[in-house]
């Protein structure tokens, strides 16, 4: 079995054998790591591609720099990313810079976490959450898939 992963740096779609996920696979176009344990800041064009092409779960934090709860949750989101890599990937979309995200994804408040998998939105979680809750949220939907 193999996974399709959109490079969160350049937007290229890569095919990665499942057994190679923990071997730090790199993008064939730009060389960026594809399944690393960190959060990527992405734009909505990259998100649109990743949400439709990726086979691994992708959890996206929609946030803004002026949002206190968003800033408080950022370290917790990073902890959850480290805990779940390489079986899930994490990204952030700054809704202040990428205003089209609010309308496209029906965002009514931030922080908002949306989990994508296999070309569709799987679930949403609103409000600032500790790492353990974020991990449990993703794991519960990974098990259901």
Tally Cβ neighbours within 10 Å of residue 76: 17
User: Residues 91, 94, 100, 106: is their CA dihedral positive or negative?
Assistant: positive
Q: Which of the residues 7, 10, 27, 70 is marked catalytic?
A: 70
Name the strands in the sheet holding 39-41, side by side, starting at the edge strand that comes first in the sequence. Answer: 39-41, 89-94, 58-63, 112-117, 120-126
Q: Which of the residues 7, 10, 30, 67 is marked catalytic?
A: 67
Among this protein's residues, is 70 annotated catalytic?
yes
44 to 71, 95, 99, 142: CA distances (angstroms): 20, 9, 9, 24
Among this protein's residues, is 67 annotated catalytic?
yes
**Any idea which residues carry the catalytic annotation?**
67, 70
């Amino acid at each position: 079995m193999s996974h399709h992963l959109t490079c969160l740096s350049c937007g290229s779609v890569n095919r990665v054998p499942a057994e190679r996920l923990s071997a730090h696979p790199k993008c064939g176009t730009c060389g960026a790591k594809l399944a690393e344990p960190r959060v990527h800041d992405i734009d909505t064009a990259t998100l649109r591609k990743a949400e439709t092409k990726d086979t691994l779960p992708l959890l996206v934090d929609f946030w803004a720099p002026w949002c206190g709860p968003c800033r408080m949750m950022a370290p917790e989101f990073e902890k959850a990313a480290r805990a779940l890599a390489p079986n899930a990937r994490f990204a952030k979309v700054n809704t202040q810079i990428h205003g089209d995200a609010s309308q496209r994804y029906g965002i009514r408040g931030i922080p908002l976490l949306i989990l994508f998998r296999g070309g569709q939105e799987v679930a949403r979680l609103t409000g600032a959450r500790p790492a353990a809750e974020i991990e449990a949220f993703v794991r519960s939907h990974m098990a259901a898939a």
